[in-house]
Structure 1
Amino acid sequence: MNDTYLVVTPEEKYVFRVYRGDWRTSESEITFELELLEHLDRNGISVSLPVSDKQGESVQKLQAPEGIRYAVLFTFAEGSERGIDSEGMSRGFGRAVAEIHLKSDSFQSTHSRQELTLDYLIHQTLDAIQPHMEHRSQDFEELKQIAASMEAKLQELDLNAMDWGICHGDLHGNTNVSYADDGAMTHYDFDLCGYGWRAYDIAEFRLAREVRLGHDPAQLERLWSAFLQGYQSVRKPGENDLKVVPVFVAVRQLWLFGLCLKDPHINGSIDYGDDFIDEKMHFFRNVPVLQKEIGVVQDNLDSQ
């Protein structure tokens, strides 16, 4: 997504992020992210913070061959990344996610940021995917219809009444959080943050467990249940917010699919090409909460 450097001085370690020129093209959207980090820090959430230069500026402008690239120096998140493999860790991470949501409710900024709307997550994603599936037009047509089923399912549950606010955007729990020896967490990499449905934000944790524990559904459900227990001990999502999570799991997978296919930096990697498309199509054809709708889609395609 970006170029990230470890900076070591005799006294401290830092992380220097250089945003891609075709990813973050607006200083305002980067400033939004930095203001959110400072807000969370003031409200007791341990995060990796931007470091200002001698002129008091946090965002640097670098002249690169491809044009202006923005860069930010961040404090180093001390500790280590740990895969969440126990109910205790899952419960603790759920509490931490809820704290981020709770403390960000009072955040305000005059800067612009892409909102995590259905147009962004679904429609723009399909537009990004289509050029990379021109050789598989029937599969793409199927994907479009499954995506329409996702959107219809979400609208059935009245999205306008659901919890909307600041989302981290990448809360899978495997990275983006550093654990100290005493278990204290420092959160980082808010590059995907923005206003969105909190159900979408927590769906990424569920998706990450499904990807890693699909072979062990009992353990998957134990970790998910523990995560929700931790989350609900801090703030209570609405009944429909929880009902809609399985659909947002599929939406999140769709968005990640599009992100990988349109990223020129990973062309030719394992997250690109026909094997990758096959893997994702298998996922979308087997979303449990959409099985009835997917059956109709497949019947319609078979009859054409």
Structure 2
Amino acid sequence: MSLFPVTYSLLSRQALLAHIKDNYKFQEPIHLKYFLKGMNDTYIVESGSGKYIFRVYRADRRSRSDIAFELDVLNYLNENDVNVSIPIAQKDRTFINDFLITEGVKHGVMFSYAEGNEKPIHTVEDSYLFGESVAQIHKVTEHFRSEHVRSNLDLEYLIEKPLNIIKLHMEHRLEDYHFIYKLILGLKEQLASKIEQGLDWGICHGDLHGNTNVAFTDNGKLTHYDFDICGYGWRSYDIAEFRLAREIHSGHNKDEVERLWEAFLNGYRNVKDLSRHDVEAVSLFVVIRQLWLFSLCFTESELIGGADFDDGFIDSKMEYFRKVNF
């Protein structure tokens, strides 16, 4: 009997623990806990040497070059005194682990543990600090270069591919799909005008919502982590996710959203310039980010099941897009 193809497999925790013991200079006892199944598999490693995060990337989602680029970004930021979770080398001084499994090769990386606590940003003070830290990432990486290839966070990534994915899952609701398509086409034309006027382009984190992916310490130190969807892109897009998260996930009213957003911008500008064109483009990127997240949910449904992404889910997204007014 031939081997049946699979889309996704989970590494044996016992085998992975043995691999870590063999390949890392950690003091015993070493414990491994499967922590989170998200876009990747995340484990917590606790040892006599300290606490770490081990991430196993999906075989169909990240190539070795993609991951090497991400690690280059993290090491560059760390070398330039930006607080980020950094990759931890194996005994042979390499960073990327290769696991030959049914669907191909999965790659794994050990990361330092970000000290502090995740917390949703609800205060002006935290928004200001977060804005400063984001600006540090953007400013420091202005001269970053990597020999590894990674796709840009461009219009194909943000608009064309998401629209194609959404259409596949809305064949039974083509009228709604065409509404989204026309809306995004109009936004794309407005964005093209902004791009012509000049928008800041460089390394982006890709998921700066400010609810997770950053740890706060009691003394106000912020450490960013999970750069899995980083790449070159428009900085307006990178900061738009913070604005979007305040608008739809935080429970804040409109005035509170504006106060938090203004504090974020003030913190950002304390470190790095942000032009009027960049700020004006954020409102466009907020909607485009929502489009991208919409398509991501459909992509994930092929792995975790479509029960949560039914017509009710589509209705909630349509409610958002029908309220967009430009």
1:125 aligned to which of 158, 162, 171: 162
Structure 2 residue 51 is the aligned partner of structure 1 residue 13:
yes
Structure 2 residue 223 is the aligned partner of structure 1 residue 186:
yes
Could you tell me the TM-score, scaled by structure 1's length?
0.92
Query: What's the CA shift string for 1:29-67, capped at 9, x where partnerless?
Result: 100000100000011101111111111110111112222
Query: What's the CA shift string for 1:144-176, capped at 9, x where partnerless?
Result: 111101101111223462100000000011100
Letter in 1 for 2:236: A
Give the equivalent residue in structure 2 for 1:175: 212
Query: What's the CA shift string for 1:195-251, capped at 9, x where partnerless?
Result: 000000000000000012466111111100110111111111111111110000000
Output the CA distance in 1 between the equivalents of 2:196 and 2:282. 12
Give the equivalent residue in structure 2 for 1:152: 189
Distance 1:10 1:115, change over 3 A: same
1:100 aligned to which of 133, 137, 162: 137
Task: Work out whether residues 77 and 186 of structure 1, in 8 Å CA contact, stay in contact via their aligned partners in 2.
Answer: yes
Structure 2 residue 92 is the aligned partner of structure 1 residue 55:
yes
Give the equivalent residue in structure 1 for 2:264: 227
Report the 3-state secondary structure (helix = DSSP H, G, I; strand = E; otherwise coil) of the residue aligned with 1:158: helix
Output the CA distance in 1 between the equivalents of 2:49 and 2:157. 43
Could you tell me the TM-score, scaled by structure 2's length?
0.86
Report the 3-state secondary structure (helix = DSSP H, G, I; strand = E; otherwise coil) of the residue aligned with 1:262: helix
Output the CA distance in 1 between the equivalents of 2:86 and 2:145. 17
Give the equivalent residue in structure 1 for 2:42: 4
Task: Work out whether residues 98 and 105 of structure 2, in 8 Å CA contact, stay in contact via their aligned partners in 1.
Answer: yes
- Consecutive unaligned residues of structure 1, counting only runs of 5 or more, are 291-304
Give the equivalent residue in structure 1 for 2:74: 37
Query: What's the CA shift string for 1:237-271, capped at 9, x where partnerless?
Result: 1111111100000000000100111122232353x
Give the equivalent residue in structure 2 for 1:267: 305
Query: What's the CA shift string for 1:267-302, capped at 9, x where partnerless?
Result: 2353x22111111111111123x2xxxxxxxxxxxx
Identity %: 48
Task: Work out whether residues 246 and 252 of structure 2, in 8 Å CA contact, stay in contact via their aligned partners in 1.
Answer: no
Output the CA distance in 2 between the equivalents of 1:269 and 1:210. 26
Distance 1:102 1:136, change over 3 A: same
Distance 1:174 1:159, change over 3 A: farther
Task: Work out whether residues 171 and 205 of structure 1, in 8 Å CA contact, stay in contact via their aligned partners in 2.
Answer: yes
Output the CA distance in 1 between the equivalents of 2:201 and 2:137. 13
Aligned alpha-carbon RMSD (Å): 1.2
Task: Work out whether residues 129 and 262 of structure 1, in 8 Å CA contact, stay in contact via their aligned partners in 2.
Answer: no
Give the equivalent residue in structure 2 for 1:295: none
- Consecutive unaligned residues of structure 2, counting only runs of 5 or more, are 1-38
Output the CA distance in 2 between the equivalents of 1:266 and 1:115. 27
Distance 1:269 1:57, change over 3 A: farther
Report the 3-state secondary structure (helix = DSSP H, G, I; strand = E; otherwise coil) of the residue aligned with 1:207: helix
Structure 2 residue 235 is the aligned partner of structure 1 residue 198:
yes
Letter in 1 for 2:180: L
Output the CA distance in 2 between the equivalents of 1:114 and 1:159. 21
Letter in 2 for 1:223: L
Output the CA distance in 2 between the equivalents of 1:120 and 1:160. 21
Letter in 1 for 2:137: I
Task: Work out whether residues 209 and 245 of structure 2, in 8 Å CA contact, stay in contact via their aligned partners in 1.
Answer: yes
Give the equivalent residue in structure 2 for 1:301: none
Letter in 2 for 1:12: G
